[in-house]
Structure 1
């Protein structure tokens, strides 16, 4: 754990590729604010208890729980922590809805996702694993919180400081970041990460062009006078504008690489492009994200007129325009 003034970083273990998420506790004169929660696992609960012991606070001190977005590693313990603290949980309206679409036991999204991936070339062996894999997350996010809503332009008190709420979509449709204009500190969730690129994925029932949205978000946010970024993965960093430029170049290079390969292949499904980019030795978890990221790029190219998409033998195939 590390501390910057009143902000304490709490590293929480994850049982999949990222290995760790940074949650934060912000101490103030009226109590503490938790930013993101980790998964509902014994390991993550123990880390929160360790943070209490090391930094001198307890559940009754928590005045609010704030979520950058609905993905399980950020949202999963929110309901449990709400029960332990009695504190309100804040999230964007979009992500409140999408949490239920993706993480509610009554949702048909697991079957919709399996069919979606099948149409984009995923073979039957992998497709059969999709719905079970998605349902395996339920145990990590229950009970669901009873959330209150915040959104872009709002101000919210975190500790003893007023932060401005920014809508920073792309990684998640309702993703929020929190900016302290006095110090230039940004609590950025998965909007901007120091080393890895935030996953930009295309999902059914969500934003049809998430990569364009993310690139627009980078452009919109680049002139914000940020001096320090507190990310959800990786170290706290200061090279804010340089990192934005790096991410823009990364996506430009990937788009160009895709176009060149599709031209050479004379057409390909999203799964074939995914295999070209990410290889074949992926777990079902990593494959799901790799294919969704590939689709975000392919749909960006299609919607900008650089690719066509045709249905061939009940599969979508992308061709250079």
Structure 2
């Protein structure tokens, strides 16, 4: 746990998958603390929050509010439990509350919808069968769900002793929010912008139909915001804000060119065929789900741009490069 500013405390929480750690934050004020993102509902993550209390001298009763950047389990998972412990309101976007229920609600058919979606795009039956159980395994990481209070872009929210602007930064998640202190030019960015890795941009059934276009639009919008330091969910706080945006724009342009090459070389591939070219065929079910969804996001971007045709052949959807 690191004191990054007098009022901002980083709380790194362990994750049982490849990212290893998610950075959550405490913002200290005269009247109490704000928690930003929560980690997963695991004994380990709850223990780290208790260690943060011992180190920094606060209790659950000192928490004024809990604020979430987005609905993904490593950010959302402990929100309901922490709400029960603190009696504090949990703030998030209405969009991402809906996404949390869609992906992780006990009555949701999203696990079956996603399995069918991936099957249409060429995922083999042995993997397709694993998708519903894999998604339902997240229930224990996100329950109980919190009772939400909505926040929306354009509003301000008091965290600690300062007012932060609420900014919609979608792409990684449809309702993703970042929080900006214009006086200090500080941003708490969740997964919007990460210093070393590329935020996953995924196409899911029932969500944004062109998430890469959305994310690139977000990057273009956000490069105009003067930011001296950004506090991300993965990796250290950093200052090369506009440089990092440019790097991510270049990354996606290169990835689009590479995907177009694979489609030309393969002829009429499925998205899963392209995914294997990009990421190999030795992924875990967790990583495969993200790899295939990210491949689809790039393919759909190219299709909408008029660079690809999407058609059905022998029961699966396939892509074909258009002739210039």
**In structure 2, distance between residues paired with 1:261 and 1:201:** 19
Aligned partner of 1:184 in structure 2 is: 185
Aligned partner of 1:216 in structure 2 is: 217
CA apart distance, 1:54 = 0.5
CA offsets 1:135-177 (integer angstroms, 9 cap, x no match):
0000000000000000110000110000000000000000000
CA apart distance, 1:21 = 0.2
Aligned partner of 1:53 in structure 2 is: 54
Aligned partner of 1:146 in structure 2 is: 147
**In structure 2, distance between residues paired with 1:284 and 1:267:** 25
Q: Pairwise mapping of residues 224-243 of structure 1 onto structure 2 (< 5 A)?
A: 224-243=225-244
- Paired residues, number: 321
CA apart distance, 1:265 = 1.3
Aligned-pair Cα RMSD in Å:
0.4
**In structure 1, distance between residues paired with 2:164 and 2:71:** 20
**In structure 1, distance between residues paired with 2:286 and 2:186:** 33
SS of match in other structure, 1:211: helix
CA apart distance, 1:266 = 1.1
2:180 matches 1:195: no
CA apart distance, 1:264 = 1.4
Q: Name the TM-score, length of structure 2 as normaliser.
A: 0.99
Moved more, 260-269 or 272-281: 260-269
CA offsets 1:55-114 (integer angstroms, 9 cap, x no match):
111100000000000000000000000000000000001001110000101100000000
Aligned partner of 2:106 in structure 1 is: 105
SS of match in other structure, 1:196: coil
Q: Pairwise mapping of residues 121-160 of structure 1 onto structure 2 (< 5 A)?
A: 121-160=122-161
Q: Name the TM-score, length of structure 1 as normaliser.
A: 1.00
Aligned partner of 2:176 in structure 1 is: 175
Aligned partner of 2:263 in structure 1 is: 262
Q: Pairwise mapping of residues 239-318 of structure 1 onto structure 2 (< 5 A)?
A: 239-318=240-319
SS of match in other structure, 1:47: helix
CA offsets 1:265-316 (integer angstroms, 9 cap, x no match):
1121000100000011100000000000000000000011000001001100
Aligned partner of 1:2 in structure 2 is: 2
**In structure 1, distance between residues paired with 2:164 and 2:100:** 24
**In structure 1, distance between residues paired with 2:172 and 2:34:** 23
SS of match in other structure, 1:126: helix
Aligned partner of 1:62 in structure 2 is: 63
SS of match in other structure, 1:297: helix
**In structure 1, distance between residues paired with 2:73 and 2:86:** 20
**In structure 2, distance between residues paired with 1:108 and 1:47:** 33
Runs of 4+ in 1 over 3 A off after TM superposition: none
